[in-house]
Structures are given as C-alpha cells and as structure tokens.
C-alpha cells in the first residue's frame, strides 16, 4: 500500500493541445498523485494498486479510438494518449467497422473491374481528429448521442497522466468511489496549484 494517495480534480489547462475547450465548459481533468509529502510533492500517475482499482471499477470496459486504423480497440490499461469510450460505444464500433469493411471491399472490387458498393454515411468518429486535435463538434455530437468518454493527455511536470472529461456527469460517481476506496479527493483551481514532479 502506498501512503498519501490522492485523486485530484483541476480545470483543463489553458495550454491544452489535444482539444479546444470553451471557457464556459464543464470540462475538467482528473490526475492521481501518490507518496505525497507534507508540501504537496509526489509522483503523478494512476500507477498504484488503489489507482488501478479505481479505474477498473469506474471503467469496466474501455475502447480506445486508434486514429491510425480508424477504429475502436479494446484496452485494459490507459497506455496511449487520446480518446477512450467507456459507455455506449457499441454502435460507434459497429458503424466504424462496417464503413471500413465497405471501403476494403470496394478497393478489391475496383481492382477486379467490378462495380463498387455504395458507401454508408461516414461515421462522425471516423474524422474526430482535425489538424491534430480532437474535434469539439464531433465530441459534442457524441455526447448528445449518450456516448460516455474521456481523453487521456499528459501534462508535465504537474499532473502527469490526466483524464479529461468534457462534462461533469460522472463526477459524483468518481468522488463516491474514491471515498469507498479510501482515496483522498482534492480539487484545485488550476494546474499551477500542483507541485512539479
């Protein structure tokens, strides 16, 4: 057991480079710190047993949007930066898989000189990245469809691996679970309130 662990809520930093966040947004980051001394110094990361338990209970099943293959990939750990879905991802995965399959079939048919199939409408998630950033418009549409997701990004030297949520709907569940697991929950007005590590 690691002493002095805490889950920390902060606003999304101004220098955030993965998604554009509006000033009136409910978006926030969660980061995890352990071996915290009396001055607030300690390493960041969801690396302790308690942190891993917290993530397992919060997100029993997670799918990462892999922009290289343009598909949802099942994950057991948060080992990549980017977009993760934890609820209502099934239709997104099905639509992406169907669209990509039709593209591949059409490539084969075209090489054989056979008429190609009409493509289904391109799933919005297919182009969720615009100029290297996640599209706020696409993410807002996915939220309206009831999809639940978070974004993993690293903020160094403060915060480390952070989970970005675009709305506060799961915050009470997170706080309650942290309490059940005896993890201290802190909230700070800015990433600058955290100590560099």
On the question of pLDDT at 16 being above 80, the answer is no
- Which residue has tokens 């939220």? 143
The whole-number pLDDT of residue 19 equals: 80
146 part of a folded domain: yes
Residue-wise pLDDT for 28-77, tens only, equals 999 999 999 999 999 999 999 999 999 999 999 999 999 999 999 999 99
195 part of a folded domain: no
pTM value? 0.91
The range of the structural domain enclosing residue 155 comes to 6-189
Residue-wise pLDDT for 128-152, tens only, equals 998 888 998 899 999 998 999 999 9
User: Total domain count for the chain?
Assistant: 1
On the question of pLDDT at 1 being above 60, the answer is no
Beta-bridge mates of residue 186 = 8
Residue-wise pLDDT for 79-136, tens only, equals 999 999 999 999 999 999 999 999 999 999 989 988 888 888 899 899 899 888 899 8
């Amino acid at each position: 057991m690691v002493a002095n662990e805490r889950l920390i809520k902060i606003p999304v930093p101004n220098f955030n480079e993965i998604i554009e966040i509006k000033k009136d947004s409910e978006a926030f980051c969660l980061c995890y710190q352990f071996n915290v001394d009396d001055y607030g110094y300690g390493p960041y990361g969801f690396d302790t047993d308690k942190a891993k338990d917290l993530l397992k209970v919060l997100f029993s099943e997670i799918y990462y949007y892999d922009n290289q293959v343009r598909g949802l990939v099942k994950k057991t750990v948060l080992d990549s930066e980017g977009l993760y879905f934890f609820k209502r991802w099934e239709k997104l995965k099905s639509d992406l898989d169907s669209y990509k399959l039709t593209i591949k079939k059409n490539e084969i048919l075209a090489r054989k000189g056979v008429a190609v199939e009409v493509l289904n409408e391109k799933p919005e998630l297919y182009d969720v990245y615009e100029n290297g950033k996640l599209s706020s418009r696409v993410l807002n549409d996915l939220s309206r469809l009831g999809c639940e997701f978070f974004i993993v990004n690293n903020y160094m030297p403060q915060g480390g691996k952070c989970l970005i949520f675009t709305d506060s709907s799961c915050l009470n569940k997170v706080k309650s679970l942290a309490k059940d697991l005896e993890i201290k929950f802190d909230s700070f007005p800015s990433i600058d309130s955290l100590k560099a590590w």
